[in-house]
Amino acid sequence: MHSRQFIKEQNHKICQSEWWGPLKGTALLSDNIYLYVPPLHFCHELHKCFEPLADKIKEKQSTNKMALRYYTKLVKSLRLFEHAKVRYRTLFGCLALSICFLLVVRPSLEGPVKTVYSKMWMGSGCPSTVMIGNKDSSQQFAAESEKKIFPNNSICDISKPRSNFCEMKGDIRIHGNSSEILLVSSSQMGHYMENETWKIKPYARKEDSRAMSGVRELSLKSLTGHDQAPSCSIYHSVPALVFSTSGYTGNYFHDFTDVLVPLFITSRQYHGDIQFLITNFQAWWVDKYHVILKHLSKYEIINFDHEHKVHCFSNAFVGLRSHKELSIDPTRSPNGYSMYDFIRFLRSSYSLVRHYAITIGEDGGKKPRLMIVSRKGARAFTNVGEIVEMARSLGYEVVVSEAEFGTSLSKVSQIVNSCDVMMGVHGAGLTNVVFLPTNAILIQVVPFGETEWICRTAFGEPSVDMKIRYLEYKMEEKESTLTEQYPHDHPVRRDPGSIAKQGWDALATIYLGKQNVKLDVARFRDTLLQALELLHH
């Protein structure tokens, strides 16, 4: 028999034989489903396939020495994983296997799909939502889903310090009114899929018990068998994202750092093709940030808690990815999104026209614009008029911001974007830094007491990630109204560190909650001059 014909027949036998068992099943996946087979594992399986064949060939040495040399070398090359040394005769002889292999791993060659906590995937060519009116339709959807599921051992990552995050792929049924999110599977999917339950509070400040106390806990369950699962009322062809607007929402800073920035990290990669479901739904909050929300999702938000219909998805996320205060770690975010990407997203969403701060001397003699963030209650400036007068004497155009709770964010964003410098005492109002143009300057007045670390974590470090230049002005004791409340030798004045050692509540109550600021304008003048100097470059 001619050697090439013999090789061809043997390759055909291999594909049909039981030796191909571990890989043969992958050929049954649909055109839309790809299974990543690690190269080492693939070669290991091929090695196991060819070893018995090599033994058989040895018995036929007298009839075909060329085939023996061919397969002996092939087994050796597979064992050492040195594909470069395989000769053209080998490649030709294994052409059928090579084609099968390329079809299986082609998606990984084009670029891996980023699924961090689950490697299950289900394709969809359906419209955004489909009404399903009977149990047979629901079971048909489930049957189609089962064919396309390749499960992983876990659906939730609870190892991160700021938030727990879960990803489910397959036949997912969300019944909001019952607090349950179900992943339905068949008995053939593996024993670890049975009776697995995760309890998740989808808010990105998980180590703060006070914030988490009001967040609704959701149950993520895997079920084996469709008889236990509720029938689908609505099927969605886009992913679901479930999160909470409880916790510290209502505080401007926490609205961004706990919800909006994590929401951007988690959903932006879908370019609007994602369905939001909000638990602890607050209509005023959704209305306040509707511009941001509608640019992240094309679909009407579902009130998770009051929804009686069963919504079915092939992909769902519960919780939000979160990296750090008011910022993003691009090495950990999908598509490498950074905080500056979030800033550009806000500018686009609110149609902000200024992308760069003024450069003094190059903008036709225009004055730099200074915004003073004026607070009510604690940490308020008691001498705003003096600050305004001094700033104007240096050549600033001054705007004093006293935004009320109901002020339109669209209006606020436009005003802030028109400024080149923003100053204020540490507080939620400085969150408006997100609307400043690139290379603008943030001046944070650091309250008297052990508060430097708070200020730098909340606004100092994030502002740099936003491409905003950052200056600090540290208050002295004489600038604090605490001098009017405590005697000269009291630990609050003499030893702020001892108060800080008592814990966050003690520090926040006194240094963030009880003092106002009478700024030493002569001393602060140098900081404003420094900002002017930066604006020349």
pLDDT digits over 382-415, tens only?
999 999 999 999 999 999 997 665 679 999 999 9
Q: Is residue 256 part of a domain?
A: yes
Query: Quick one: 394 and 496 in the same domain?
Result: yes
pLDDT tens digits, 453-484: 999 999 999 999 999 999 999 999 999 999 99
- pLDDT, tens digit (0-9, with 9 covering 90-100), for 97-124: 555 444 444 433 333 333 332 222 233 3
Q: How far apart are CA 525 and CA 533, in angstroms?
A: 13
Q: Phi/psi at 169 (nearest 5 deg)?
A: -135, 135
pLDDT at residue number 114: 32
Token look-up 């598509």 returns: 335
Helix (H), strand (E), coil (C) string for 160-229: CCCCCEEEEEEEEEEEHHHCEEEEEECHHHCHHHCCCEEEECCCCCCCCHHHHCCCCCEEEEEEECHHHC
Instruction: State mean pLDDT over 360-385.
Output: 93
Closest to 421 measured CA to CA, from 452, 454, 444: 444
278: phi then psi, degrees, rounded to nearest 5 = -110, 125
Q: What pLDDT score was predicted for residue 215?
A: 98
Give the lowest-confidence range in 66-70, 262-266, 488-492, 526-530. 66-70
Report the distance separating Cα 332 and Cα 496, nearest Å: 37
Name the more confident of 223 and 85: 223
Structure-derived torsion over alpha carbons of residues 368, 369, 374, 379, reported in degrees to the nearest 10 = -20
Mean pLDDT of 262-290: 98
Q: Mean of the pLDDT values across residues 341-353? A: 99
- Within this chain, do residues 135 and 284 fall inside the same structural domain, yes or no? yes
The whole-number average pLDDT for the span 489-511 is 97
Number of structural domains found in the chain: 3
Sheet containing strand 441-446, strands side by side:
397-401, 369-373, 421-425, 441-446, 469-474
Asked if residue 527 and residue 452 are part of one domain, the reply reads yes
DSSP assignment of 41-56: HHHHHHHHHHHHHHHH
Give CA–CA dist 324/327, Å, rounded: 6
| pLDDT in the model for residue 226 | 78
Q: Please state at what angle helix 95-110 crosses helix 39-58, rounded to 10 degrees.
A: 170
CA–CA distance, 15 with 536 (Å, rounded to integer): 72
What per-residue confidence (pLDDT) applies to 497?
Answer: 97
226 token code pair: 């469709």
CA 98/CA 531 separation, integer angstroms: 64
Asked if residue 361 is part of any domain, the answer here is no
Pair (300, 392) in one structural domain: no
Task: Please name which of 201, 220, 216 lies closest in space to residue 163, comparing C-alpha atoms.
Answer: 201
pLDDT at residue number 9: 53
Is 19 inside a domain boundary?
yes
Q: Please indicate whether residue 204 or residue 101 has the higher confidence score (pLDDT).
A: 204
* Domain end call among 75, 110, 145: 110
| Identity at 410, one-letter amino acid code | S
Examine the pLDDT at 146 and tell me if it is beyond 80: no
Q: Are 475 and 517 in contact (CB under 8 A)?
A: yes
Contact 368, 532 (CB under 8 A): yes
What is the average pLDDT across 214-240? Answer: 93
Q: Which residue, 317, 321, 294, 285, is CA-closest to 203?
A: 321
> Where is 114: in which H helix or E strand?
none
Q: Are residues 301 and 208 in the same domain?
A: yes
pLDDT at 187: 52
Nearest C-alpha neighbor of 396 from the set 332, 348, 441: 441
Burial class (CB in 10 A: 0-12, 13-18, 19+), 238: buried
Q: What is the pLDDT of residue 405?
A: 59
- How many other β-carbons are positioned within 10 Å of the β-carbon of residue 137? 15
**Residue 209 pLDDT more than 50?**
yes
Could you tell me the residue range of the domain that residue 83 belongs to? 3-110
Percent of the chain with pLDDT over 90: 64
Q: What is the DSSP letter of 258?
A: I
pLDDT digits (tens, 9 = 90+) for 44-60: 454 454 555 445 544 54
* 355 within a domain of the structure (yes/no): no
Residue 310 near residue 173 (C-beta atoms within 8 A): yes
Last residue in a domain, options 79, 110, 141: 110
Residue 202 CA to residue 219 CA, distance in Å, equals: 11
Measured CA to CA, the distance from residue 318 to residue 334 in angstroms comes to 16
Position 116 in a domain: no
Q: What is the pLDDT of residues 290-303, one digit of tens each?
A: 999 999 999 999 99
CB-based contact 443:531 (threshold 8 Å): yes
What does pLDDT average to over the chain? 80
373 and 440, same domain (yes or no): yes
Report if residue 451 sits inside a domain. Answer: yes
Residue 145 has pLDDT above 90, yes or no: no
325 falls within a domain: yes
Question: What are the respective helix, strand and coil percentages of the chain, to the nearest 5?
Answer: 45, 15, 35
Identify whether residues 166 and 313 lie together within a single domain: yes
- Specify if 120 maps to a domain: no
Tokens matching residue 63: 């009839």
The pLDDT confidence band at residue 485, using thresholds 50, 70 and 90, is: very high
Q: Which residues of 87-122 are buried (b: 16+ CB within 10 A; e: fewer)?
A: eebbeebbeebeebbeebbeeeeeeeeeeebbebbb
Name 526's Cβ contacts closer than 8 Å, sequence gap at least 6: none
Q: Is residue 104 domain-shared with residue 157, that is, in the same domain?
A: no
R_g of the chain computed on alpha carbons: 31
83 and 225 share one domain: no
Percent of the chain with pLDDT over 70: 69
Q: What is the pTM of this model?
A: 0.73
Whether 134 and 210 share a structural domain:
yes
pLDDT given at position 363: 74
Whether 506 and 420 share a structural domain: yes
* CATH classification of the domain holding 488: 3.40.50
User: In terms of domains, do 323 and 459 share one?
Assistant: no
Most confident of 111-125, 240-254, 359-373: 240-254
Higher pLDDT, 36 or 141: 141
